[in-house]
Amino acid sequence: MGPFNRPDRLRWQAASVLAAAPIAALAAGDVPAPPLGAPVHASPAALVADLHRRLLAGQSATATLEAWCAEHGLADTPRVRAVRVRGVQRDAPVEVRSALAIDDATPLRYRRVQLTCGQRVLSEADNWYVPSLLTAAMNHALDSSDEPFGRVVAPLDFKRQTLHDREFWPPRVDGARATVLEVRALLRDGQRRPFSYVVENYQQDILPRQTPAAGGTAPHR
């Protein structure tokens, strides 16, 4: 029988199979499942916290929002669009140019959009970016289309650095807006150069409709 008796040999074989399983799965190209999100019937505050966590963990807000829309059934087609808000122009605050490591003479472009999914406005974003660090095709797409910024600049292999983030529940009301989460982030290209500073205000409509239990409060609007 060799150095092991039969019971020891069987235990050793079982342990070897279990130890090799994760390696085999990764070798086959499987990606580990992401952490589970908030339960389907979680409270609004818990859902905001879950979305917050996902946005901080992801590199593209657009991709995170599309996955969120699909998971929570926010639209028949979970496709995020960037609806341009025309006629709005904001000079970059001092902290924006400082974060982008540029002086006052460096040209900046400004883009204000509403990120929508179906009929819902998920967020409103102010974005200042350095056009000289983008390709001509990217600048043209940003000027002439409703494509989300993250999707347009994806070839830059950018990384997202969160500068500031804060949850609001109850929502922070500002006129017609009800903001549940604010995130300020810096995007860096594959060469680590900062090229975009974005301020994102996520709206209450990003939460799924909730059906109250008997005798409960009115559903989220």
pLDDT digits (tens, 9 = 90+) for 57-92: 988 888 999 999 999 999 999 999 989 898 888 999
Asked whether residue 37 is assigned to any structural domain, the reply reads: no
pLDDT at 26: 30
Q: Does residue 29 register a pLDDT over 70?
A: no
Separation in Å, CA 91 to CA 107, 166, 198: 11, 24, 13
Cross-sheet strand order for the sheet of 109-117: 80-84, 109-117, 120-129, 194-203, 177-188, 159-174
101 domain-assigned: yes
* 194 part of a folded domain: yes
Residue 108 belongs to a domain: yes
For residue 66, is it within any domain? yes
With tokens 């001092």, the residue in question is 94
7 prior amide bond cis, ω within 30: no
- CATH number for the domain harbouring residue 60: 3.40.1410.10
Domain presence at residue 69: yes
Answer yes or no: is pLDDT of 18 > 60.
Answer: no
In a domain, 175, yes or no: yes
Model's pTM, two decimal places?
Answer: 0.73
Among 23-32, 34-43, 141-150, 159-168, which is the least confidently predicted range? 23-32
Q: Is the pLDDT of residue 4 over 80?
A: no
Q: What does the alpha-carbon distance between residue 206 and residue 49 come to, in Å, rounded to a whole number? A: 12
Using 50, 70 and 90 to split pLDDT, how confident is the model at 38? low
Q: Report if residue 38 sits inside a domain.
A: no
Least confident segment among 11-25, 51-65, 115-129 = 11-25
Total structural domains within the chain:
1
Lowest-pLDDT choice from 20-29, 46-55, 114-123: 20-29
pLDDT at 10: 43
Per residue in 131-173, pLDDT (tens digit) is: 999 999 999 999 998 888 999 999 999 999 999 999 999 999 9
Range of the domain at 128: 44-206
Say if residues 130 and 100 touch (Cβ distance below 8 Å): yes
Q: Is the pLDDT of residue 220 over 50?
A: no
Q: Taking the CB of residue 168, how many other CB atoms lie within 10 A of it?
A: 17
